Amino acid sequence: MNYFKTFMLLLGMAALLMGIGYLIGGMSGVIIALVIAVIINFASWYFSDTIILKMYKAKEVDESSAPNLYRMVTDLTNSAGMPMPKVYIIPSASPNAFATGRDPEHAAVAVTEGILGVLTYEELRGVVGHELAHVKNRDSLIMTIAATISAAIGFLAIIARYAMIFGGRSREGGGIISLIALLVIAILAPIVAMVIQLAISRTREYSADKGGAQFSGQPLALASALKKITSMANVQPQQDLSNPTTAHLWIASPIKGRGFMSLFSTHPPVEERIRRLEEIAANG
C-alpha cells in the first residue's frame, strides 16, 4: 500500500511538472528545468554519504571500537539479506539515527551518542532495523527523484515570474487571464510540489517502520524507541540536528510541525507510527 501511494504521489508530481511546463511555454522549458534539477540532485544523491556524514562529524567505527553496535548491525543485515553497511557514531547528545548512501552496496548507518545512552538493546535493534529498511527500500533514490521533480517545478516557477515581468507568452495570449495564470503557477506550484514531496517522505517512514519491525522481530521495541526519542525531543529540542535539508533522514524529525504545519513535516505523527507498530505486533 505504501509503495502504491508513493508511486501515485510521484505520478502526481510528474503530472504537475508537465502541466506547468505546457502552460508556461511547452516541453522545452520542462526539459531544461529537469536537466538542471537532475544535475543538482543526483550529484547530491551520489555523494550523499560523504556530504552528510561530514556535516555531522560522524566517526566510522568497527567491531573493535564499538563491538555491540557493530555486531548488532551485522546481525540485522544478515537477517535482512543485505550487504554490510559502514557504521558511524555522531558526537551529539540528541537521541537519533539515520541511514544514507546511494544503494545497499554503498550505504552507511549512523547513530548519535545520545541514542546509545538512552535506548535498551532491543529498542536500538528496532531503530537500526528501521534504518536498514530505508537502505533496502532504496528510499534515498526515491526521495532524490521526488526532490528532482520538485526542484524542476521550482525552476519553472522562476521562469513564470520572469515571464510576468518581461512579457513573453502572457502578452501574446491576450492579457490579464494569462498573467493571473502565471501568478498562480509562480506562487502555488512550488508549495504544492513540496507538500507532495513531504507526503512521499512520510509514506517511506511507514514502510521503514514495517521493515524495521520485520528485521528486528520486535515491533514493540521500535515503538518504545520512537516514544522515548520523541518525548526526550519535546523536553530538549534537537537543535544541533535541526538542518531542514537533512530532517527527512532521521528516524524522528528534529523539526516539529503541528496542526497545519504538519503538512510540511517530513515524518508522519509518531502516535500513528506507534499505533501501526502495535498492530503489527498484535497480528503476529
In DSSP notation, 136-175 reads HTTHHHHHHHHHHHHHHHHHHHHHHHHHHHH-THHHHTTS
Would you state the cell numbers that stand for residue 169, as one nine-digit string? 507568452
Q: The whole model's pTM is what?
A: 0.83
CA distances from 167 to 158, 185, 270 (A): 14, 15, 48
Residues annotated as catalytic (active site), given as ranges: 131
Between strands 107-112 and 86-90, the pairing is parallel
Count Cα neighbours of 254 within 13 Å in the Cβ-side half-sphere.
22
Sheet holding 97-101, edge to edge: 59-61, 86-90, 107-112, 97-101
pLDDT tens track for 165-219:
665 444 444 567 667 767 777 788 888 888 888 999 999 999 999 999 999 999 9
Please report, rounded to a whole number, the percentage of residues in the chain having pLDDT higher than 70: 88
CA distances from 228 to 98, 178, 222, 232, 276 (A): 16, 53, 10, 6, 17
- 159, 29 Cβ separation under 8 angstroms: yes
Does 273 score more than 70 pLDDT? yes
Domain that holds residue 145: 2-282
Would you state the cell numbers that stand for residue 57, as one nine-digit string? 562529524
pLDDT tens track for 44-102:
778 877 888 999 999 999 999 999 999 999 999 999 999 999 999 999 999 999 999 88
Instruction: Give the chain's radius of gyration (CA, Å).
Output: 21
Number of domains making up the chain:
1
Tell me what pLDDT residue 66 has. 97
- 85, 96 Cβ separation under 8 angstroms: no
Instruction: Tell me the three state secondary structure of residue 82.
Output: coil
Report the sign of the C-alpha dihedral through residues 120, 124, 125, 126, in that order: positive
Local confidence band at 150 (pLDDT 50, 70, 90 cut-offs): confident
CA distances from 274 to 17, 73, 200, 227, 249 (A): 35, 23, 19, 8, 19
The residue among 224 and 5 whose pLDDT is bigger is 224
φ, ψ at 245 (rounded to 5°) = -75, -20
